[in-house]
Homo-oligomer: A and B are copies of this chain.
Amino acid sequence: MTRVPIAGVGMTKFGKNGERTARELFAEAAGKAFEDSGLSPDDVDEVYYGNFMGEIAEQQGHSGPLAADAAGVTAPATRIESACASSGAAVRHGVNRVRNGDVDVVLVGGAERMTNLSTADGTAGLAAAADALWEIKAGVTFPGAYSLMANRYFHEHGGSREDLAEVAVKNHDHAVENELAQFQMEIDVDKVLDAPTVCSPFGLFDCSPMSDGGSAALLVSEDFADDHDLGEVAITGTGQDGDRLALHDRVSMTRTPAAERAAEMAYDDAGIGPDDIDVAEVHDCFTIAEVLAIEALGFYEQGEGITAATNGETAIDGDLPVNLSGGLKAKGHPVGATGGAQISELTKILRGDHVNSDAVSDAEIGLTHNAGGTVASCVVNVLEVMN
């Protein structure tokens, strides 16, 4: 299908900024995207805004037009809510909107304000991404749900807490120089293993943090990009799929078919396969999630992704660097902003203006994998350097 150039990207620093509203966070990110592109709010024809828990954190729904207004835009504006995949889905809908052929510039992204809530209230709010009729009533929060998946993975395929810890260590390594990341600090395996237990087998460092932040990207038509000399990188493929929300309704707890199908759709759309991917940003909300992601995306056979980080294969100097931004683990995870932030970071990585670009200077094709809930939603986008 038609490729959709990325004219500009931006994100806030992720971290603890609970005094700022989601609209402020998005406005900052959008402002950076405008600056990056040279475009102005008046150029925008449509807005897709990802936000997950605004009703809970800010008593604020209806945030599509609110976010557009904060960014200075008057245009059709729609809030997309797909749990932690909200802004990945916003990006996909921006791509599809440009492909309709009647608009030239679409602003996509998202924001989340979380740290104004207590950890207990935030955890309860996040649980709205699970099946409220069953999982929430059973007391399953997301660390609990993913720990079930991790323990089952160990049972079916082997692997160890150390292997999971290596995922966190790698992603922290990648974030050290990334000034937009929440945690710019190295950790080691012992630190991960010795951290307080959140839900076995996860310690504190197996879990992505609560974060506040915003992200944005400007997607444009090819004609517009040509006319304005924009878009060194384009989205060439996009895919999305869903699954049953509750883990107990799934055939397997260690496979993520929504991600498999989203990836297949995105690969088909771009006319490529997993072997063509040079670099990837995947949804490592918990360490096991990165393992499941790289298997679902076709980089590893099922049961073989667990040692990827341990073997250095997904590190910055590995065969397939994963989460050069630091991932959700170290960059932070303001839920509604995460999918857009993957696009922002990967665009910079591929353009050559990311702090980790030099290590992957030959990279031409990248991929983002953004998941909601226990991967009951997944969006995969393929990005390519325009030639």
Mark contacts of A94-120 with chain B using CB atoms, 8 A cut-off: 1 yes-contact digit, 0 otherwise.
001101101000000000000000000
Chain B neighbourhood of A77, CB < 8 A = 242, 377
Q: Which residue in chain B gives the minimum CB-CB distance to A74?
A: B242
Other 12 A-B pairs with CB < 8 A, given A47-B242, A53-B61, A80-B80: A59-B136, A60-B128, A60-B132, A61-B128, A64-B81, A64-B242, A65-B376, A69-B245, A74-B242, A76-B240, A80-B81, A96-B96
Closest to A239 in B: B76
Interface string of A120-133 (1 = CB under 8 A from B): 00000101111111
> What chain B residues lie within 8 Å of A81 (beta carbons)?
61-64, 79-81
Chain A residues 22-63 with CB under 8 Å of chain B are 47, 52-56, 58-63
Contact A82 B64 (CB under 8 A): yes
Contacts A56-B55, A78-B89, A79-B81 known; A128 to B62 CB distance under 8 Å?
Answer: yes
With A76-B240, A82-B78 as contacts: A65 and B1 at CB distance below 8 Å:
no
Contact A66 B131 (CB under 8 A): yes
Binding site for B on A (CB under 8 A): 1, 21, 47, 52-56, 58-66, 68-69, 74-83, 89, 93, 96-97, 99-100, 102, 125, 127-133, 136, 239-245, 249, 258, 262, 265, 372-373, 376-377
Q: Are A245 and B62 in contact (CB under 8 A)?
A: yes
Given contacts A59-B127, A60-B128, A100-B100, whether A93 and B66 have CB atoms under 8 Å apart is no
Are B65 and A102 touching (Cβ within 8 A)? no
| Pair A240/B78 contact, Cβ less than 8 Å | yes
Nearest CB to that of A56 among chain B residues?
B55
A21 x B133 contact (CB < 8 A):
yes
Most-contacted residue by chain B among A21, A66, A93 (CB, 10 A):
A66
* Cα distance A102–B65 in the bound complex, in angstroms: 29
- Bound: A318/B147 CA distance, A: 63
Inter-chain CA distance A82–B125, complex, in Å, is 20
Residues of B within 8 A of A53 (CB): 55, 61
Residues of B within 8 A of A89 (CB): 78
Q: How far is the CB of A137 from chain B (nearest CB, A)?
A: 10
In whole angstroms, how far apart are the Cα atoms of A125 and B77 in the complex? 21
Whether the Cβ atoms of B83 and A376 lie closer than 8 Å is no
Q: Is the CB of A76 within 8 A of B241?
A: yes
Q: By the criterion CB–CB under 8 Å, are A61 and B52 in contact?
A: yes
Contacts of A265 in B (CB 8 A): 76
CA distance A81 to B81 in the complex (A): 7
Q: How far is the CB of A179 from chain B (nearest CB, A)?
A: 29
